Amino acid sequence: MTLRVAMIGYGFMGAAHSVGWRQAPRMFPLPDEVEMSVIVGRNAEAVADAATRWGWHESASDWREVIARDDIDVVDIVTPGDSHAEIAIAALEAGKHVLCEKPLANTVAEAEAMADAASRAADRGIRSMVGFTYRRVPAVTFLRDLIAQGAVGRIAQVRASYRQDWLVDPEMPLGWRLQKEHAGSGALGDIGAHIIDMTQFVTGLDVASVSGTVDTIVRQRPLQGAGSGLSGTAAEGYGEVTVDDIALFSARLSTGALVSFEASRFATGRKNDLSIEVSGDKGALRFDLEDLNALWFYDRTAPESTQGFTRILVTEPQHPYVAAWWPAGHMLGYEHGFSHQVVDLVTAIAEGTDPHPSFAEGLSVQRVLAAVEESSASDSAWVRVGADIPQLH
């Protein structure tokens, strides 16, 4: 069987997803063949260039027409968050399998509608998945496996952060990621969603309640194409930033264990610094995306004379996903997670099983995001995740 894929969107994530669709069939023995059929975007000329550059057979400018086609089996959504719900629900109702970039939606209400649509589609054998690709970095998957095997014992504390600095310059233009109507939220939803999902993934525990603060450090930025804007006014050349630049929040997991989260696009000098450390009564594990082929493991059950954090190089063929790639010690990179995402989705479709993270898991992250925003609006009061928060719907 051949799975014919349509990708809707062609920005930065479009390039990354294209690498995944192109490389996975060449490096892994997939149960079905994959065809990069069509890429969709509103700018016909630009999307045609993207099709040629990234290896798609054709391009189109109307996603509704593409979803209605009988020769499309999978729809991959890499558009801004404000269109995720409409496209995903339409694709599922048309009988297409769906891969949707994170966060799942811009609001809890949208995410609930998407999860409901995914559940109904699953009854007809239609599969859906959210693109939290950092789960599929081999070291992160291995970290999850070690925790499940009891390597750290009872989890007492988690520290998770994702720090970038691309907004430190106040003259960075007002792109869609800085507008709530398109992005839903800022650092919180863009990169905070990753560390929320990663925490729930590696621990196997849900975030139950949160207390936090979000803030916007630069509140006006030059409009796209407005020049430097240094001499302009808000009315002429500037627009309002309507999302957060930084989110700091604490959480309790379903067991009561504490988590500290930091999501910032104002961490000067940090380009793409994601890290997580899980501490328990038997040991600790730490992952850092800037050293993504390694884990650090502290074994508290070892003799005191030999205790200390040990670096594990996660490049052996026994490690998750690694056997399909290079010999031990030959490093993998950021782009490999997108190939692993394709492998897991295609395998689930062929086997008739539900892939992970599901839309229901994406909804669980969306509920945490909403609870953090509600906490910030309530002087950092503790908010139970999943509680009714009307103003965020």
Q: What is the distance between the alpha carbons of residues 224 and 165, in angstroms, rounded to a whole number?
A: 19
96 and 167 in a single domain? The answer is no
70 and 203 in a single domain? The answer is no
282 and 157 in a single domain? The answer is yes
Report which residue type is found at 22.
Answer: R
Convert the pLDDT of each residue in 266-309 to its tens digit.
999 999 999 999 999 999 999 999 999 999 999 999 999 999 99
26 and 101 in a single domain? The answer is yes
Among 85, 111, 134, identify where a domain stops.
134
Number of domains in the chain: 2
CA triplet 378, 189, 205: central angle to 5 degrees?
A: 85
Convert the pLDDT of each residue in 158-211 to its tens digit.
999 999 999 999 999 999 999 999 999 999 999 999 999 999 999 999 999 999
For residue 243, the model assigns a pLDDT of 97
Segment 93-98 mean pLDDT: 98
116 and 172 in a single domain? The answer is no
For residue 389, the model assigns a pLDDT of 54
148 and 111 in a single domain? The answer is no
Does 373 reside within a domain? Answer: no
Q: Is 256 exposed, middle or buried (0-12, 13-18, 19+ CB in 10 A)?
A: exposed
Does 384 reside within a domain? Answer: no
Segment 329-348 mean pLDDT: 98
The answer to whether the CB of 210 falls within 8 A of the CB of 251 is yes
185 and 311 in a single domain? The answer is yes
**Domain around 160:** 138-291+293-332
3-state SS record for the chain: CEEEEEEECCCHHHHHHHHHHHHHHHHCCCCCEEEEEEEECCCHHHHHHHHHHHCCCEEECCHHHHHCCCCCCEEEECCCHHHHHHHHHHHHHCCCEEEEECCCCCCHHHHHHHHHHHHHHHCCCCCEEEECHHHHCHHHHHHHHHHHCCCCCCEEEEEEEEECCCCCCCCCCCCHHHCHHHHCCCHHHHHHHHHHHHHHHHHCCCEEEEEEEEECCCCEEECCCCCCCCCCCHHHHEEECCCCCEEEEEEEECCCCEEEEEEECCCCCCCCEEEEEEEECCEEEEEEHHHCCEEEEEECCCCHHHCCCEEEECCCCCCCCHHHCCCCCCCCCCCHHHHHHHHHHHHHHHHCCCCCCCHHHHHHHHHHHHHHHHHHHCCCCCEECCCCCHHHC
| CATH code, domain carrying 98 | 3.40.50.720
Does 346 reside within a domain? Answer: no
Kindly indicate the confidence band of residue 224, based on its pLDDT and cuts at 50, 70 and 90: confident
122 and 217 in a single domain? The answer is no
| CATH code, domain carrying 322 | 3.30.360.10
User: What is the Cα gyration radius of the chain?
Assistant: 21
225 and 142 in a single domain? The answer is yes
Convert the pLDDT of each residue in 145-161 to its tens digit.
999 999 999 999 999 99
Query: Residues in the chain, how many?
Result: 393
207 and 326 in a single domain? The answer is yes
87 and 229 in a single domain? The answer is no
The answer to whether the CB of 184 falls within 8 A of the CB of 107 is yes
For residue 393, the model assigns a pLDDT of 31
Convert the pLDDT of each residue in 124-143 to its tens digit.
999 999 999 999 999 999 99
Q: pTM for this structure?
A: 0.94
Does 260 reside within a domain? Answer: yes
143 and 117 in a single domain? The answer is no
The answer to whether the CB of 260 falls within 8 A of the CB of 160 is yes
